[in-house]
Amino acid sequence: MAEHITLIYAGKEFRLPLVTGSEGEKAIDISLLRRDTGLITLDPGYANTGSCKSAITFVDGEKGILRYRGIPVEQLAERSTFKETAYLLINGELPPQKELTRFSVLLNDHSLVHEDMKTFYQNFPRSSHPMGILSAMVNALRSFYPELQDLDEETTITVTRLLSKVRTMAAMSHKISRGHTVVYPRSDLTYCANFLNMMFDSPVKPYEIDPDVVKALNVFLILHADHEQNCSTAAVRVVGSARVNLYAAISAGIAALWGPLHGGANQAVIETLGEIARSGNLHQMIARAKDRRNPYRLMGFGHRVYKTFDPRARIMKRMAHVLLDKLNLSDPLLDVARELEEIALKDDFFIEHHLYPNVDFYSGIVLKAIGIPINMFTVLFAIGRLPGWIAQWKESMDDPEWKLCRPRQVYSGPHERPYVPIEER
Ligand SMILES: CC(C)(COP(=O)(O)OP(=O)(O)OC[C@H]1O[C@@H](n2cnc3c(N)ncnc32)[C@H](O)[C@@H]1OP(=O)(O)O)[C@@H](O)C(=O)NCCC(=O)NCCS
């Protein structure tokens, strides 16, 4: 007989089936709980709630494990490219050479952005945050690229368009915000080299593509490519469950990622490190983060799932050192980061709360060395997370058990009361 747990409520016994994942993790299936018992569960922040079965990414927060489709992220960071990892996440397998070439050709074919979209970019206030612009523009893509009739073709083309155009759009918003000429994508460049060229090439100073920088960008994007049911991915799945088009669902993911508790942390970390470097108030910052009356948090520390270490942070830390060495750069923020990490890791508060550097702690230093402006940091995270969002959306659309996401609540407001006319209030 299948495993189950027994719930005793109001003198009756209810059997709830246990579901076991491929890595042995167990979950109580409560899908019939309300029907059978009249009860619902309450789990603010969903810290104990599995929303789906998924075959894409495996995370073990206690052991610091992260695998995409079974392959350890360390191996992908060392040996794969972002394009290949994106293919793996979306299609489930590493592509044979012929398939990878076909994928590259498709990405090239769809890399241009409709010229009329430039007008929109030009009309955003110069001070607009690029994440707000990206979210709006990705949503606008549906108006420029209407739905195709064939469902399979629609999915393939929409997915390719998104992966390819998001990089063009991100670079475009950077150029336009500076008042510079837009640089178009080139079919002779690889995915990451193309993005860097669109970001930094200029008629007066041609951009020299450095393979070490291209490698660093590939690693950065691979490390961000998926992270199972995180806040922005959950947003993509929830919004997608209403059967909106993929662009709208991804736009919601970008909006969620913008938040400082999620992807926005990479910008917040570099700002914190900069402030410490300027003012030297490292110990005050730590004291502030530990003060329970103060809502301040040390950005780049802590994670909902990782409670021992974040494997991505280790790779990113190494990458920061390697890149700065290769480019012969020194960054005082790296010294501040190292000192902050050293102090925090020995501090009782951080140890007791399981607070370790997360992926965002060192990623800003890598992005800064590549030359990415600070307000574009989270946009780079969004480009990286895109294949994960797409893979998760696709999986949900193909899942016969996936339905409209509509959580319940425990109502805690007033009982029924009459409307009082304004003159009697
Ligand atoms: C990522 C994060 C939202 C996860 O939080 P969570 O799983 O919901 O955990 P909680 O918010 O319940 O925090 C648990 C405890 O640790 C403390 N804590 C968590 N992160 C902290 C941080 N960065 N600085 C100081 N205290 C922190 C909380 O105040 C809480 O303390 P308490 O139990 O004494 O009240 C949280 O660690 C955070 O805000 N980190 C900073 C932002 C960041 O780097 N985000 C990027 C994530 S990749």
What domains, with CATH codes, occur in the chain?
4-60 (2.20.28.60), 75-399 (1.10.580.10)
Q: Is 267 in the pocket of ligand 1 (CB under 6 A)?
A: no
pLDDT band at 52 (very low <50, low <70, confident <90, very high): very high
* Cα within 13 Å of Cα(250), Cβ side: 29
| Ligand 1 pocket test target in 266, 286, 303 with most atoms within 8 Å of CB | 303
Q: Which residues contact 243 (CB under 8 A, 6 or more apart)?
A: none
Considering the candidates 110, 303, 310, 331, report the single residue annotated as catalytic.
303
* Cα 316 to ligand 1 centroid, rounded to whole Å: 20
Please write the tens of the pLDDT for every residue from 372-409.
Answer: 999 999 999 999 999 999 999 999 999 999 999 999 99
* Cα 304 to ligand 1 centroid, rounded to whole Å: 8
Burial zone of 310 (CB within 10 Å; 0-12 exposed, 13-18 middle, 19+ buried)? buried
| 303 included as an active-site residue | yes
* Cα four-point dihedral sign 257, 260, 264, 266: negative
* Cα 299 to ligand 1 centroid, rounded to whole Å: 9
The phi and psi torsions of 301 (rounded to 5 degrees) equal -120, 140
| 4 included as an active-site residue | no
* Cα within 13 Å of Cα(2), Cβ side: 11
The per-residue pLDDT for 289 is: 92
pLDDT band at 152 (very low <50, low <70, confident <90, very high): confident
Considering the candidates 360, 398, 399, 415, report the single residue annotated as catalytic.
360
Distance CA 71, CA 56 (A): 10
The phi and psi torsions of 71 (rounded to 5 degrees) equal -95, 125
The per-residue pLDDT for 217 is: 97
Query: Where does 182-310 have alpha helices with state H?
Result: 191-200, 211-223, 231-240, 246-257, 265-279, 282-290
Supply the residue whose CA is at minimum distance from atom 17 of ligand 1: 353
User: How many C-beta atoms surround the C-beta of residue 84 within 10 A?
Assistant: 19
Could you tell me the two tokens for 344?
Answer: 């925090």
Give how far Cα 141 sits from Cα of 64, 116, 137, 247, Å. Answer: 37, 11, 6, 7
Q: Is 359 in the pocket of ligand 1 (CB under 6 A)?
A: yes
The per-residue pLDDT for 147 is: 74
Average pLDDT, stretch 118-130? 88
pLDDT of residue 224 exceeding 90, the answer is yes
Q: Could you give the percent of the chain with pLDDT greater than 70?
A: 99
Q: Could you give the percent of the chain with pLDDT greater than 90?
A: 82
pLDDT of residue 149 exceeding 70, the answer is no
Q: Is 387 in the pocket of ligand 1 (CB under 6 A)?
A: no
The per-residue pLDDT for 331 is: 87
